[in-house]
Chains A and B, each alone.
Chain A
Amino acid sequence: MSAADPALGAGYEDPPTRVGFFTDTSVCIGCKACEVACKEWNGVPAGDLDLLGTSYDNTGGLGADTWRHVAFIEQRRPPGTEAGSGELRWLMSSDVCKHCTRAACLDVCPTGALFRTEFGTVVVQEDVCNGCGYCIPACPYGVIDQRRDDGRAWKCTLCYDRLRDHTEPACAMACPTDSIQFGPLDELRQRAGRRLEHLHDLGVEDARLYGHDEADGVGGAGAFFLLLDRPEVYGLPPDPVVGTGELPRMWAAAGAAALTLVASAVAAFAGGRR
Chain B
Amino acid sequence: MAECHPVGFQWVMEAKARGATVVHVDPRYTRTSALADVYVPLRPGTDIAFLGGLINHVLNEGKEFREYVVAYTNAATIVADDFRDTEDLDGIFSGFDPERRSYDPSSWQYEGTVAMPAAGHREWWNGAGSETASSGRRPPARDETLTHPRCVFQLLRRHYSRYTPELVERICGVPRQQFLQVAQLLIDNSGPERTSAFAYAMGWTQHTVGVQSIRAASVLQLLLGNVGRPGGGILALRGHASIQGSTDIPTLYDLLPGYLPMRRAHDHQGLDDFVAGASSRTGQWGHMRAYLVSLLKAWWGESATPENEFCFDYLPRVTGDHGTYQTVQGQLDGSVKGYFLAGENPAVGSANGKMQRLGMSNLDWLVVRDLAMIESATWWLDGPEIETGELRTEDIGTEVFFLPAAAHTEKDGSFTNTQRLLQWHHQAVDPPDDARSDLWFYYHLGRIIREKLAGSDDEVDRPVLDLVWDYPTVGDLDEPSAEAVLSEINGWDASGRPLSSFTQLADDGSTACGCWIYCGCYADGVNQTARRKPGAEQSWVAPEWGWAWPANRRLLYNRASADPAGRPWSQRKAYLWWDEDRRAWTGHDVPDCTTTKPPGYQPTEGASGVDALSGTDPFIMQADGKGWLFAPAGLTDGPFPTHYEPQESPVDNLLHTQQRNPVRRVFSRRHNRYHPSGGASGAEVFPYVVSTYRLTEHHTAGGMSRGLPYLSELQPEMFCEVSPELAAERGLEHLGWATIISARTAIEARVVVTSRMASLDVAGRRLHQVGLPYHWGHNGLTTGDSANDILSFVLDPNILIQESKVATCDIRPGRRPRGAALVELVESYQRRAGIGPETGVSNERG
Q: A29: nearest residue on chain B (CB-CB)?
A: B2
Contact with B along A83-104 (1 / 0, CB 8 A): 0000111111000000000000
Asked whether any CB of chain A lies closer than 8 Å to the CB of B781, the reply is yes
> Is B713 a contact partner of A49 (Cβ separation < 8 A)?
yes
B709 interface hit (Cβ, 8 Å): yes
Q: Is there contact, CB below 8 Å, between A58 and B710?
A: no
List, in ascending order, chain A residues with CB within 8 A of B9's CB. 29, 176-177
Provide the bound-state CA to CA distance between A178 and B14, in Å: 10
Task: Map CB proximity to B onto A63-75 as digits: 1 under 8 Å, 0 otherwise.
Answer: 0000000000010
- Would B29 and A90 count as touching, CB distance under 8 A? yes
Residues A30 and B714 in contact, CB atoms below 8 Å apart: no
Known contacts A51-B735, A90-B756; decide if A39 and B2 are in contact (CB<8 Å).
no
Chain A residue at minimum C-beta to C-beta distance from B33: A90
- A35 an interface residue at 8 Å Cβ cutoff? yes
In the assembled complex, B750 has its CB within 8 A of some CB on chain A? yes
Residue contact B716 to A59, C-beta cutoff 8 Å: no
Task: Report yes or no: A30 in contact with B712, Cβ–Cβ below 8 A.
Answer: no
**Residues 53-67 of A contacting B (Cβ, < 8 Å):** 53, 55-56, 58-59
Q: How far is the CA of A36 from the CA of B714 in the complex (A)?
A: 9
CB proximity of A64 to chain B, nearest CB, Å: 14
Q: Is the CB of B781 within 8 A of A176?
A: no
Contact in complex: A74, B755 (CB < 8 Å)? yes
Q: A239 to B745, alpha carbons, bound, how many Å?
A: 54
Q: Are A27 and B35 in contact (CB under 8 A)?
A: yes
With a cutoff of 8 Å between Cβ atoms, the chain B residues found around residue A201 in the complex are none
> Contact residue range for chain A?
20 to 34
B31 close to A32 (CB less than 8 A): no
Contacting pair B710 A176 (CB below 8 A): no
- The answer to whether the Cβ of B6 comes within 8 Å of any Cβ in the partner chain is yes
How does the 8 Å CB contact mask read for B32-56 relative to A, with 1 for contact and 0 for none? 1111000100000000000000000
Chain B 701-739: CB-based contact to A (< 8 A → 1; otherwise 0): 000000001111111110100000000000000110000
A46 at the interface (CB under 8 A from B): yes
Which residues of B have CB within 8 Å of A177? Answer: 6, 9-10, 13
A178 to B782, CA, bound (A): 30
Are A36 and B7 in contact (CB-based, < 8 A)?
Answer: no
Q: Would you call A33 and B6 a contact (CB within 8 A)?
A: yes
B696 touches A30 (CB 8 A): yes
**B-chain residues with CB within 8 Å of residue A149 when the two chains form the complex:** none
**Roughly how many angstroms separate A87 CA and B695 CA in the complex, as a whole number?**
23
What is the chain B residue whose CB lies nearest that of A36?
Answer: B710
B13 touches A40 (CB 8 A): no
Cα distance, A35 to B710, chains bound together (Å)? 8
The chain A residue sitting closest to B9, CB to CB, is A29
Closest chain-A Cβ to B561's Cβ sits at a distance in Å of 29
* A29 B6 Cβ-Cβ under 8 A: yes
Report if B427 contacts A (CB, 8 A): no
**Contact in complex: B755, A176 (CB < 8 Å):** no
Asked if A191 is at the interface (CB within 8 A of a chain B CB), the reply is: no
Write the chain A residue with the least CB distance to B711.
Answer: A36
The answer to whether B34 touches A30, judged by C-beta atoms less than 8 angstroms apart, is: yes
CB distance from A85 to the nearest CB of B (A): 11
User: Is the Cβ of A49 less than 8 Å from the Cβ of B781?
Assistant: yes
Closest-CB distance, B366 to chain A (whole angstroms): 30
A39–B708 alpha-carbon span in the complex (Å): 12
B 756-772 contacts with A by CB, 8 A = 756
> CB-nearest residue of chain B relative to A39?
B710
Chain B residue at smallest Cβ distance from A27:
B13
Q: Which chain B residues lie closer than 8 Å to A47 at the CB level?
A: 713
A51 to B751, CA, bound (A): 10
Q: Nearest chain-A residue to B34 (Cβ)?
A: A90
Q: Counting chain B CB atoms within 10 Å of each CB, which of A32, A36, A56, A87 scores highest?
A: A56
Per the bound structure, the CA–CA distance linking A178 and B39 in Å amounts to: 23
Chain B 234-249 interface 0/1 with A at a Cβ cutoff of 8 Å (1 = within): 0000000000000000
Instruction: Flag if A32 contacts B714 (CB, 8 Å).
Output: yes
A55 vs B752: C-alpha distance when bound (angstroms): 8
Which of A29, A36, A40, A88 is the one whose CB lies under 8 Å from B29? Answer: A88
Name the B residues within 8 Å of A178 (CB-CB): 10, 13
Counting CB contacts under 8 A, is B697 at the interface? yes
User: In the complex, A74 Cα to B712 Cα: how many Å?
Assistant: 22
- A59 CB to closest chain B CB, in angstroms? 7
Please pick, from B31, B717, B781, the residue contacting A29 in the complex, using a CB distance under 8 A.
Answer: B31
Beta-carbon nearest neighbor of B7 in chain A: A176
Interface centre among A48, A58, A91, by most chain B C-beta atoms within 10 angstroms, is A58
> Assuming the A-B contacts A30-B31, A51-B750, are A58 and B10 also in contact, with contact meaning beta carbons closer than 8 angstroms in the complex?
no
Q: Output the least CB separation between B552 and chain A (Å).
A: 26
Chain B residues with CB under 8 Å of A36's CB are 710-711, 714
List, in ascending order, chain B residues with CB within 8 A of A55's CB: 754
Within the complex, the shortest CB–CB distance from A5 to chain B, in Å, comes to 31
Residue of B nearest to A53 (CB): B735
Within 8 A of A (CB), among B351-374: none
Q: B696 and A53: CB pair below 8 A?
A: no
How does the 8 Å CB contact mask read for B676-717 relative to A, with 1 for contact and 0 for none?
A: 000000000000000000011100000000000111111111
The distance in angstroms between the C-alpha atoms of A189 and B9, with both chains bound, is 26
Inter-chain contacts of B17 with A (CB < 8 A): 27
> How distant is the Cα of A58 from the Cα of B752 in the complex, in angstroms?
12
B38 to chain A, nearest CB (A): 10
Residue A162 at the chain B interface, CB threshold 8 Å: no
The reply to whether the CB of A76 lies closer than 8 angstroms to some CB of chain B is yes
B573 CB, min distance to chain A CBs, angstroms: 25
Task: Determine if A50 is an interface residue (Cβ-Cβ < 8 Å).
Answer: yes
In the assembled complex, how far is the CB of residue B583 from the closest CB belonging to chain A, in whole angstroms?
A: 45
CA distance A88 to B368 in the complex (A): 44
B712 / chain A contacts, CB cutoff of 8 Å: 46, 49
Q: Which residues of B contact A33 (CB under 8 A)?
A: 6
In whole angstroms, how far apart are the Cα atoms of A46 and B756 in the complex? 28
Residues on A with C-beta less than 8 A from B34 are 29-30, 89-92
Closest residue to A195 on the B side, CB-wise? B17
Asked if A31 lies at the interface with its beta carbon under 8 angstroms from chain B, I say yes
| Inter-subunit contact A49/B696 (CB<8 Å) | no
Q: Would B2 and A74 count as touching, CB distance under 8 A?
A: no
Closest-CB distance, B612 to chain A (whole angstroms): 45
Known contacts A51-B716, A51-B719, A176-B6; A92/B29 CB under 8 A: no
A29 proximity list for chain B (CB < 8 A): 2, 6, 9, 13, 31-32, 34-35
**Are B10 and A35 closer than 8 Å at their CB atoms?**
no
Of A58, A74, A87, A92, the residue contacting B714 (CB under 8 A) is A58
B31 surroundings in chain A (CB, below 8 A): 29-31, 90, 92
CA of A58 to CA of B17 in the docked complex: distance in angstroms?
30
Contacts of B750 in A (CB 8 A): 51
Query: Which residues 150-183 of A sit at the B interface, judged by CB distance below 8 A?
Result: 176-178
CB distance from B799 to the nearest CB of A (A): 30
A122 to chain B, nearest CB (A): 25
Least CB distance, A28 to chain B, in whole angstroms: 9
In the complex, which residues 1-33 of chain B have their Cβ closer than 8 Å to any Cβ of chain A? Answer: 2, 6-7, 9-10, 13, 17, 29, 31-33
What A residues does B32 contact at CB under 8 A? 29
Would B782 and A49 count as touching, CB distance under 8 A?
A: yes
Instruction: List, in ascending order, chain A residues with CB within 8 A of B752's CB.
Output: 51, 53
CA distance A20 to B619 in the complex (A): 51
Residues of B within 8 A of A50 (CB): 716
Extra contacts, 14 of them, besides A29-B32, A177-B10 (Cβ < 8 A), are: A29-B2, A31-B31, A35-B714, A46-B709, A49-B781, A51-B735, A51-B752, A56-B715, A88-B756, A90-B29, A91-B34, A92-B34, A176-B10, A178-B10
What are the nearest 8 A-B pairs in CB distance? A46-B709, A49-B716, A90-B34, A31-B6, A51-B717, A29-B2, A176-B10, A53-B735
Contact surface of B with A, Cβ cutoff 8 Å: 2, 6-7, 9-10, 13, 17, 29, 31-35, 39, 695-697, 709-717, 719, 734-735, 750, 752, 754-756, 781-782
Binding site for B on A (CB under 8 A): 27, 29-33, 35-36, 39-40, 46-51, 53, 55-56, 58-59, 74, 76, 87-92, 176-178
Q: Could you name 9 residue pairs across A and B whose Cβ atoms are closer than 8 Å?
A: A33-B6, A35-B710, A46-B712, A51-B716, A51-B750, A53-B752, A74-B754, A88-B755, A90-B756
